[in-house]
Amino acid sequence: MLTALGGIDLLRVPVAVREALRLGAYQILFLDRVPSYAAVSDSVSLARRASVRAAGFANAVLRKVAASGRETFAQLSEGGDPASLAIRYSTPRWLVDLWLEELGRELAETAMGASCHPPERCLRVNRRRATPEQARASLAAEGVALVPVDGFPDALVVAAGPAMETTKAFADGLITPQSRGSQLVSAVACGGSPGARRVVDLCAAPGGKLSHLADLLPEAHLCAYEIDPARAGRLRRNLARLGIQAEVIVGDATGLAAPPAPDVDLVLVDAPCSGLGVLASRPDLRWRRGAGSAGEHALTEERLLAAGAALVAPGGSLIYAVCTLTRRETVDVLAKLLDGGEWQADDLGVEFPHCRHPDDGRFLLTVPGVHGSSGFFITRLRRVTRRATRGSMGPR
């Protein structure tokens, strides 16, 4: 819209001026409590830091926005074509095209619409420290209104009240923030290995899924890898708050050598990804990512998946999960393992039919706006044959 009213490609405008224009236009179009003249004045002052000429340009454009911006926005965003959808849902055109192609129009529009609204605040009760009833009582005493979640026995959605991180229940380790989609990952993992004794999480920080697995598999030895020392520190603090013991290793899991005798019962690869399933909580990501970001992340995801696969004992489970929806980072990443004959995918669509992947029922896909959560892709692979391996031992 700014391009249309300004008569110039906005990407050619210096970044500082571009952001000043966006701030002003947003206030004019969507914040009724801010007078238009004040929004124009503030943004022009910001643009003036770049140059006097930039200030004049910003003043001219934003006055047009104040005069006819809402009508122009409505006209540009009312259609069903990709360009209109991009404006209506404040989503880059490349991402609109990708989601339309991979999700279909209905799911794509639902996901884009959900990304424009704050996500639900979901938490999980830490059963090592409290029962759900005790956690609810503690939070209620601090003015937190809660809504239970069907199908998630330890999940509670915050309907109103202070940030959960400020509550005594949080400080005492009775609860921890964790979305429904994230909790589903842990449930899938435990469902495939209910008696797992050795569990490895290759990308563990900040520890939501690992701590959930500790609840679900209380007898298991937990080993957690985290490449970033600062995030590893946060992981340790979270585990300590929740009363969970785990071996935390700071290191790059993609560099693990395959052990000669894989003996891990359950490996979780919750890989770093483009994050396009969590745009409601990270709205900046849509503008920080580009059309090639899925492919770039997929390379790391494939290496992590291979490293995790090398640790799994025959009959053991390998969980692959990412908080994104792109095919390149989900189904395509699994292709090499599934084509080799050594691994098979459990049919998760039978176990969790409400989250069945629309293209392949063996996998799960939570879609923002449909499943009450962020977007997650989840699969559970089972090692069905023994493979000759070489190298040093894995985690102990």
Give the residue range(s) of CATH 3.40.50.150 domains in the chain. 180-383
CATH 3.40.50.150 is the classification of domain 180-383? yes
Contact 134, 178 (CB under 8 A): no
- Rounded Cα distance between 87 and 77, Å, is 5
- Comparing CA positions, the residue from 284, 273, 275 lying closest to residue 92 is 284
Contact 246, 224 (CB under 8 A): yes
Res 228: pLDDT? 96
Which phi and psi angles does 370 have, rounded to 5°? Answer: -110, -45
Res 261: pLDDT? 81
Res 394: pLDDT? 44
Within 10 angstroms of residue 385's Cβ, the number of other Cβ atoms is 11
Indicate the length of the chain as a whole number: 396
Contact 292, 326 (CB under 8 A): no
Query: Token digits for 371?
Result: 């499943």
Is it true that the peptide bond before 206 is cis, omega within 30 degrees of 0? yes
Local mean pLDDT, 10-residue blocks, the chain (396 residues): 77 88 93 92 94 92 93 91 94 96 96 94 95 95 92 92 94 96 95 93 96 96 96 97 96 88 94 96 92 95 96 96 97 94 95 95 96 94 68 40
Res 8: pLDDT? 76
Which phi and psi angles does 165 have, rounded to 5°? Answer: -70, -15
- Comparing CA positions, the residue from 33, 30, 56, 29 lying closest to residue 43 is 56
Give the residue range(s) of CATH 3.30.70.1170 domains in the chain. 121-177
Res 258: pLDDT? 81
Res 386: pLDDT? 54
Res 230: pLDDT? 97
CATH 1.10.246.90 is the classification of domain 121-177? no
- Comparing CA positions, the residue from 66, 75, 57, 55 lying closest to residue 28 is 66
